[in-house]
Amino acid sequence: MKSAITQQTQHILNLIAKRDLNDDEKKQLIDETVDNFNAYINPGFLQYRKSFSPDYVAVEWADSGSTFTCVKGIEYIDCLGGYGIYNVGHRHPKVLKAVTDQLNRQALHSQELLDPLRGYLAKILADLAPGNLKYTFFTNSGTESVEGALKMAMLATGRRTIIASVGGFHGKSLGSLSATSKAVFRKPFLPSLHNVRHIPFNDLHALEQTLACLQFTGDDAAAVLLEPILGEGGVIIPSDDYFPGVRRLCDKYGALLIADEVQTGMGRTGKMFCVEHWNVEPDILCLGKAFGGGIMPAGAFIGSEKLWTPIFSNPFLHTTTFGGNPLACAAAIATINVLLEERLCERAQTVGDIFLNKLKSTIKPYTPHLILDARGKGLLIALEFPDTDIGFRVSKGLFQEKILVAGTLINAKTIRIEPPLTITLEQIDNVINALSKVLKEIASEMKVQLINESITKPTPIPMNNLQQTVLSRQL
Ligand SMILES: *Cc1c(COP(=O)(O)O)cnc(C)c1O
């Protein structure tokens, strides 16, 4: 057994070291990957992939810029962006160089001495983040950033209740999951943190009522935890007065405002941090996803000096082994450099506007029977469909056209378009042309479907009413 594993690991190490695979190696790699997923990861994942793609065995192998390539050598335009990881693109040379240079000297830290990159990155974040945000704790993921932020809020306020929003997503570890809102993810694990209240998003009246009720009952809110734009919830953009109002209400009731910018941060919506659109200064800012430049897993949460003082006397009250490791910090420092130097926040805004306008005119002939809406801010864009079936068909069609998009986790009613901020106008046109083709195909398929149905009906529906019938059925 041991010698077999030695052999097997050596075989894989040889594969990793290779740039190009021959046809036999490709076939073997694809077959083995499918088998391994089936037998050792989760067969359900393959079923899920099937719903998005006829070629559900597409196995990814390499990436660069705004594209990735599967083992067969097919290049896909990445309009999913790893749910918001690839803001500076795939393997940006500058991020790659920083990480490789660091790797060639020291990979992880001793855990005991002072590591310079963590210090530098924290200082940079203090300069970059809004207002008084000054101290940073580094994490390995978004959910860890939220966990830490919740602990910090409890510690700083001495209060326990957390207010989060319906439609909000904050991660899936137990603490963050309590604040996440979708029943399908939460229900099997309830009760989790029992002191989380979910309120409707973009509703200041509901927030004030909840804060007032909690104050009345003595369950005072420690924090209001919100995504500036609901990402997983379907790219729901609040009205411009919402976040300023939330800030005011938090101050009135002594609750902290935690902005979960794991997805909206690092330039995605056209500003470095999304709350900057409304000049709102949160008490804690959570980062993850794109923070590691699409190369390293990295996250952080940043707070004011006042909030951090409770852990000055015991810096071990909240710790992590890998958070803030030198490779992750090198990646994050390079990422910030690239975002600023290449003006990618501004680019997200202008290119996002262009993309959204083109999407709007492309979907117009199919609205509302095939598509309800295209909306977005910067390059956080969503297409909304009347039902999940059409969403799946569009995703599937786009994948055949070598464009990756994705639903909002196991739901294709809303498809997210979240490409690297470096996506070219030419690539955007490719996406638009593909979408146009796919919509046309689906529209004609649906007409055919309807004609077939009408043949079996006693009174045939006149042709010019067909579209109308589809519409009423869907809505
Ligand atoms: C993805 C996401 C998280 C969770 O991040 P993980 O790295 O998957 O743990 C938390 N909050 C928001 C807003 C996210 O989009």
pLDDT at 450: 57
Rounded CA-CA distance 384/450 in Å is 23
CA of 286 to the centre of ligand 1 (A): 9
pLDDT in tens, 276-306: 999 999 999 999 999 999 999 999 999 999 9
Report the DSSP beta bridge partners of residue 12: none
Structure confidence by residue, pLDDT tens digits, 404-413: 987 665 566 8
Instruction: Kindly state whether residues 276 and 401 are assigned to the same domain.
Output: no
408 neighbors 234 (Cβ within 8 angstroms): yes
Same domain, 79 and 172: no
Q: Are residues 73 and 109 in the same domain?
A: no
CATH number at residue 442: 3.90.1150.10
| Ligand 1 atom closest to Cα of residue 168 | 13
Q: Residue 200's domain is classified under what CATH number?
A: 3.40.640.10
**What whole-number distance in Å separates Cα of residue 34 and Cα of residue 51?**
16
Q: Which residue's alpha carbon is nearest to atom 5 within ligand 1?
A: 142
In a domain, 221, yes or no: yes
Confidence of residue 452 (pLDDT cuts 50, 70, 90): low
Range of the domain at 357: 61-88+347-385+394-462
Going from the Cα of 295 to the center of ligand 1, the distance in angstroms, rounded, reads 16
- On whether the CB atoms of residues 264 and 129 are closer than 8 A, the answer is no
| 431 plus 298 within the same structural domain | no
Say whether 27 sits in a helix, a strand or coil. helix
- In tens, the pLDDT along 113-127 reads 999 999 999 999 999
Whole-angstrom Cα distance, residue 322 to residue 297? 10
The pLDDT, as a whole number, for residue 409 is 56
Q: Give 143 Cα–ligand 1 centroid separation in angstroms.
A: 6
CA atoms in the 13 A half-sphere facing the CB of 52: 24
pLDDT at 459: 44
201 CA to centre of own chain: 18
The answer to whether residue 297 is domain-embedded is yes
DSSP-assigned letters across all residues of 239-256: PTTHHHHHHHHHHHHT-E
165, 170, 269: residue to mutate for ligand 1 pocket, most atoms within 8 A of CB = 170
- pTM, 2 dp: 0.92
Single-letter amino acid code for the residue at 202? N
Residues with CB under 6 A from ligand 1: 83, 141-143, 146, 169-171, 227, 231-232, 260, 262-263, 288-289
Q: How confident is the model at residue 458 (pLDDT cuts 50, 70, 90)?
A: very low
Non-local (6+) Cβ contacts of 183 within 8 A are none
What is the DSSP annotation of 45-111?
Answer: HHHHHHHH-SSTT--EEEEEBTEEEETT--EEEESSHHHHT-TT-BT-HHHHHHHHHHHHH-SS--S
One domain, residues 300 and 190: yes
Do 365 and 258 fall within a single domain?
Answer: no
Helix or strand run (H / E) with residue 277:
none
